[in-house]
Amino acid sequence: MARPAQQITLSDSEKSELLTLSRSQALQYRYVIRAKIILEWSEGKTLDESESSLSVSRPTIVKWRKRFAARRLDGLKDEPRTGKPLIISPETRVRVIELACSKPKEGYSCWSQRRLAEKIGISQSQVHRILKEADLKPHKTEYWCGKSTDPEFEEKLIKIIGLYLSPPENALVLCVDEKTQIQVLERTQPELPLRTGNPKRLTATYKRHGTVSLIAALAVHVGDITAKTIEKNDSEAFLAFLKKLYRMYPNKDLHIIVDNWSAHKHQKVKEWVDKRRRLTLYFTPTYSSWLNQIEIWFRLLTKDVLKDAVWHTKKQLVDQIMTYIKTYNKKRAKPFQWTYTGKPLTI
């Protein structure tokens, strides 16, 4: 009598990875079938059963079982192919690197591997190999913040950081800014919900229902958010919000940090602020709105609420934002902590 095949035991991480591979619709089929072979093996299926259910040959099943037993997940990868190594001349390498580091013509803003290959007359795989060895990524762009041109940069920076680190007694430090032009988009087809092996899917076509603008204040040392929607993003809306904050905290000295937008420096705003002993405005240096901590919260709002969402009316969006703020203040509000421990960026 034939001896029953030994069953393989998978770790939790291995089983999770194999399940992901077996359900993938993006991977090449050969990787999917290899994952299924191992999963059926772990379930105790015989060679005959796997041969029937997966419609693959017995030698194929035996091969990948042996490879997995010897090298686990790495054993399911293709082995390096034999053959004469491809020779790329130094002149070709230099030409690829030179072109990749230059601005392309004919209306393009950046090089792709395909266009580099066509321009030089080699294969795209050769271009990929050359760029990888030279650690060049012409398709990728990183952004950095240049040096502020504000002659009072250091003075303004020190004041704002001082408020963050050591606020005056009986003071409330608030970061205020506007988030404008939030589009109210309704998709033309129903949303396809998340399911195993597939993310949530939305149609690329949509209907517009206008925009929503928000003005918000972050209480730096508490974490609470105060916000309201505004019809127009102008000095009148900003001044009305300042008056609201002033009424909300009658027994506190308010130190409010804003950026350099013209509405924040309007003459009416300046005249009203000058008459309030309990309120002081601080302006971030030019090109340095990143110093305003409300920008951190706006990023959370975008991630948690605005990204890939669907609304049928402006009211629906406004209600969701206000519900999110209420939930945030109740469950998540706390001061942001500085966690960066690396070296400063040098330019």
Burial of 222-233, coded b for 16+ CB within 10 Å and e otherwise, reads ebbbbbbebeeb
> Which stretch of DSSP H or E encloses residue 73?
none
CA dihedral 289, 292, 295, 297 (to 10 degrees): 180
Q: Is 297 exposed, middle or buried (0-12, 13-18, 19+ CB in 10 A)?
A: buried
Q: Write out the two tokens for 75.
A: 């054993």
Residue 2 pLDDT: 47
**Strands 171-187 vs 206-219: parallel, antiparallel or unpaired:** antiparallel
**214 DSSP β-pair partners:** 179, 229
pLDDT of residue 24: 81
Residue 132 tokens, joined: 């990888």
**8 A C-beta contact, residue 194 and residue 217:** no
Whole-angstrom Cα distance, residue 26 to residue 197? 10
Residue 217, judged by CB atoms within 10 A of its CB (0-12, 13-18, 19+), counts as buried
Whole-number pLDDT of residue 269: 96
Report the relative pairing of strands 206-219 and 225-230 from DSSP bridges: antiparallel
H-helix or E-strand spanning residue 175: strand 171-187
Phi-psi bin for 243: left (phi > 0), alpha (psi -120 to 50), beta? alpha
pLDDT computed for residue 83 by the predictor: 67
Name the nearest CA neighbour of 255 among 157, 337, 164.
164
CA atoms of 98 and 306, how far apart (whole Å): 41
pLDDT tens, N- to C-terminus, the chain (347 residues): 445 557 788 888 888 888 888 888 777 788 888 889 888 888 888 888 888 888 888 888 898 888 888 888 888 887 776 666 667 888 889 999 999 999 888 888 888 999 999 999 899 989 999 999 889 988 888 877 777 888 999 999 999 999 999 999 999 999 999 999 999 998 888 888 888 888 888 888 889 999 999 999 999 999 999 999 999 999 999 999 999 999 999 999 999 999 999 999 999 999 999 999 999 999 999 989 889 999 999 999 999 999 988 899 999 999 999 999 999 999 999 999 877 776 665 54
Q: Which two tokens stand for residue 167?
A: 């606020």
| Residue 63 in tokens | 């091969």
Single pTM value for the model: 0.66
Q: What is the pLDDT of residue 1?
A: 43
